[in-house]
Amino acid sequence: MSMRRRQFLTAAAGAATVPLLRTRARAQAKPIRVGYTMSATGPYAVGAGITQVPNYTLWQEQVNTKGGLAVKGEGRRMIEFVTIDDRSEIETAVRFYEKLATDDKVDLLLPPWGSAMNFAIAPVAGKYGYPMIGPTAISGKFKELALPYFYTMLVQPAPQMQAVAALLRDLRDQGKIKKVAVAYVNDLFGIELNAATGPAFKAAGLEVVDTKSYPLGAKDLSPVLRGFKDAGADAFVGLTYPPDNILVTSQAKEVDWNPAVFFTGVGTAFPFYRDRFKGAEGVMGIAGWNPKVKFAGAKEYFDAHVKKHQKEPDRWASAFAYASLQILERCVGEVGLDRPKIKTMLDATEFQTVAGPIKFTKGENVTTPGIVGQWQKNEFELVWPKASSTGAAVVPKPAWA
Amino acid sequence: MAQGLVHRGRGGAEAGLGVTLSPTLLLDVVVGGFTTGGIYALVALGLNLQYGLMRVLNVAHGEFLMLGAYVTFSLHTGWGVNPLLTLLITGPTAFAVGLVLHRLLYAPLLAGGAAESLESRSLLLSFGLMFVLQNAALLVWSADLRGYSYLAIPLRWLGTVFPANRVLAATIALALGGAFYLYLRYSLTGKAVRALMQEPEGAQLMGIQTSRIHGLCFGAGIAMSAVTGSLVSMLFELTPFMGLPYTVTALVVVILGGLGNMLGCLLAGLLLGLVETAGVYLASSDIRLISSYAVLSLILVLKPSGLFGR
């Protein structure tokens, strides 16, 4: 009797706790808080608004539509962003990342936009043990510092410039170009790429007739371009940032210079660039991706991006920004929100993403090769390396539109 | 690196810096300086009018340039209006906006305070205005780079080439600046403005209406900034944050030329453009800012009232 009574009580208590447990389970599935700062104002706002923000918000929307991010052992939890405008000020970003880690105690951190910004916050990631995958950071210094929790998605300066050198050597051997001229922006990005350019071009036996630097925010690059033109350069390599990228392109036309190869840096892969220069037919630049690549989900990603934002993703880092989130999603799905475990998985796994297979070695994506793109009939065709190209390089480039 | 400093292929005598000086190079520098300086002169003229007359340091001056540029961009890309025609829209509109701003914000603020507090008050107000305008532009046009091509064609002259749009923009800027200078010099209103600048109390005693002249000058200053913006939009990409560097350059020009001195301002603008361009051609693009600040420091040490100041 007493036994049965106890059994009854247990059963009753059990029955009573079922709804309780369920409400608690629901309450426990509170959102995953993901923190980051983004430059909504200031000089970095242009790049951030094109390459990074649209991918963060697209991913958040897609995941939340599915009911949230699958966390190992917990089911799905909605994603909530904790974010602020860092006004393109590095110290503001660093302070806010410190706050996100110590005060808000967010579950995950996403990186801000740009090499200099990522460089500044990467140590914060290490200090508090937050794995961060930087989609818009390009600097050889990341490798030197060997920051344990920071990962870079983009091809870094040396392999990128080696790819450019290989393409130019190929063109020289075909007799299509002879003399190369290099201009670079005096900012971390330009300085590092230029430093990688020297050895790469030397190894390729290219004749560099002139190398010039100019400051960020330059307003007139025609003296530089005219110097190159007079020196008889027929291949221009500009290691540029978005505003001066546009400037150097429009001024090349204005000083009547149309070299066989016109290669520029950050911004060339933006659809904005193509539209600004009536197709920008024949202009080459650093590339990473286009919707023609054969990787799973690439086309779907392109379409979803266009649908949500009414604009195309850029042809360099956008897909890598999205891919960094795919990687994070897979890690959380397999090991949960335990950050050291996420790091272990990041170090050991090859990930399949919309930007292709990605494997990190000492925090650097070593799978993606250095890629050169060229605007051809409204698509940024990947023309180098030949093995994974989507089109053949057109040299000499057609006249300016 | 030393190789990078050599200006190549222009034939002629080697100058001290390892630069080959030749008539074409000289022409490049002079025309290049003129195209940069013309823009500087016009934007500085507007600031000088406000600062010289009212001691209102309008930090938001460049923001009106930015707005002028965006309006021209929108009219040109949206409705196909010729960028030059948009000057007729941006100028008068900005003038009206300036009158209203002066009436609603600056006049009450500046009325009845001690002279020393005027500058700091107006500075605070214009800082606030700067943020409001920047963020308003951000909401309307977003942070994306915007721009269009207009007259982006080479202009051949004496064996060298110049961008047609730059030469045109600078010519218009200088023509407007010169016309305004002549207006100040010979019209009755212009004389009243100059009287107020030189001797505020005396001018008031002679029956000059201070508040009216102040409003007109504030409006005219903003109109000049907006018109410069319309011209600049033909040359550079636009962002909501493009204004501040122009405010800084304008301030340098105003100090160079002498506070309240309009002719000095025009000449100082041209001089600054010339110095910067010469620096870029003879040494490197990296020294553009260094050379302009070197000139400023030199003037401040040798002649603190400005090159053409009394």
What does the pLDDT read at residue B299?
85
Hey, which residues does A214 pair with through a beta bridge?
A185
Is residue A244 pLDDT above 80, yes or no?
A: yes
Fold of the domain spanning A157-289+370-388: Rossmann fold (3.40.50)
Contact A222 B32 (CB under 8 A): yes
Distance separating alpha carbons of residues B212 and B265, to the nearest angstrom? 24
Cβ(B296)–Cβ(B252) below 8 Å: yes
Q: Which of B5, B8, B34 to mutate to test the interface with A (most CBs of A within 10 A)?
A: B8
Per-residue tokens: B271: 């001089």
User: What percentage of chain B's residues is helix, strand, coil (to nearest 5)?
Assistant: 70, 5, 25
Residues of A in contact with B18 (CB under 8 A): none
Q: Which residue has the higher pLDDT, B120 or A121?
A: A121
Taking only residues 238 to 277 of chain B, the set having a beta carbon closer than 8 angstroms to any beta carbon of chain A reads: 239-241, 245, 277
Instruction: Sort out which chain B residues have CB atoms less than 8 A from A255's CB and list them.
Output: 154, 161, 163
- CA–CA dist A237, A331 (Å, integer): 39
Q: Which CATH number fits domain A28-156+294-365: 3.40.50.2300, 3.10.20.30, 3.20.20.140, 3.10.180.10?
A: 3.40.50.2300
* A97 interfacial to chain B (CB closer than 8 Å): no
For chain A, give the mean pLDDT: 90
User: Which pLDDT score is estimated for A5?
Assistant: 52
- Which pLDDT band holds residue B114 (cuts at 50, 70, 90)? low
**Range 33-92 of A in CB contact (< 8 A) with B:** 40-43, 45-46, 48-50
pLDDT in tens, B274-303: 888 888 877 777 777 788 888 888 888 888
Residue A19: which pLDDT band, with cuts at 50, 70 and 90? very low
Q: Which two tokens stand for residue B210?
A: 């201070």
B143 vs A40, A210, A251: nearest CB: A40
Indicate which of B5, B77, B134, B145 best probes the interface with A, i.e. most A CBs within 10 Å of its own CB. Answer: B145
* Cβ–Cβ under 8 Å, residues B250 and B173: no
Confidence of residue B32 (pLDDT cuts 50, 70, 90): confident
3-state secondary structure of B163: strand
Q: What is the CA radius of gyration of chain B?
A: 20
Of A220, A221, A230, the CB nearest to B10: A230
Q: Residue A183 — φ and ψ, nearest 5°?
A: -125, 140
Q: Mean pLDDT over residues A64-82, rounded?
A: 94
pLDDT, one tens digit per residue, over A297-355 is 999 999 999 999 999 999 999 999 999 999 999 999 999 999 999 999 999 999 999 99
- What tens digit of pLDDT does each residue of A98-136 get? 999 999 999 999 999 988 899 899 999 899 999 999 999
Mutation site for A-interface testing, chosen from B237, B241, B292 by largest number of A Cβ within 10 Å: B237
pLDDT tens-digit map of A265-293: 988 999 989 998 999 999 999 999 999 99
The closest CB to that of A253, out of B10, B152, B281, belongs to B152
* pLDDT at A25 (0 to 100): 47
Q: What is the pLDDT of residues A195-243, one digit of tens each?
A: 999 999 999 999 999 999 988 778 888 888 988 998 999 999 999 988 8
- The answer to whether A28-156+294-365 and A157-289+370-388 have equal CATH topology is yes
Question: How many other C-beta atoms are found inside a 10 Å radius of the C-beta of residue B172?
Answer: 20
Write down the domain spans for chain A.
28-156+294-365, 157-289+370-388
B18: confidence class by pLDDT, cuts 50, 70, 90: very low
pLDDT computed for residue B112 by the predictor: 67
Q: Is B21 helix (H, G, I), strand (E, B) or coil?
A: strand
Closest CA to A289 of A315, A265, A318: A315
| Cα–Cα distance for residue pair B72/B79, rounded to 1 Å | 10
Using one digit for the tens of pLDDT, what is the confidence trace for A372-385?
Answer: 999 999 999 999 89
DSSP code string of A113-169: SSHHHHHHHHHHHHHHT--EEETT---THHHHHT-TTEEE-SPPHHHHHHHHHHHHH
Domain ranges of chain B: 52-143+185-241, 243-310
CB–CB contacts below 8 A, A to B: 115
C-alpha to C-alpha distances, A207 to A236, A285, A381, B9, B17, nearest whole angstrom: 12, 20, 26, 17, 24
Name the minimum distance, in Å, from the CA of B188 to any CA of chain A.
39
B113 or B130: which leads in pLDDT: B130
pLDDT at B15 over 80: no
Closest CA to A71 of A33, A101, A35, A104: A33
> Distance from A254 to chain B by nearest Cα, in Å?
5
Considering only CB atoms, A212 lies closest to which of B4, B138, B241, namely B4
**B154 touching A, CB under 8 A?**
yes
Q: How far is A121 from B213, CA to CA, in rounded Å?
A: 52
- Tell me the average pLDDT across A163-175: 96
Q: Are B243 and B84 in contact (CB under 8 A)?
A: no
Alpha-carbon distance B289 to nearest alpha carbon in chain A (angstroms): 9
Question: Phi and psi dihedrals of A293, rounded to 5?
Answer: -65, 155
pLDDT at B6: 37
What local confidence, expressed as pLDDT, does residue B25 receive?
77
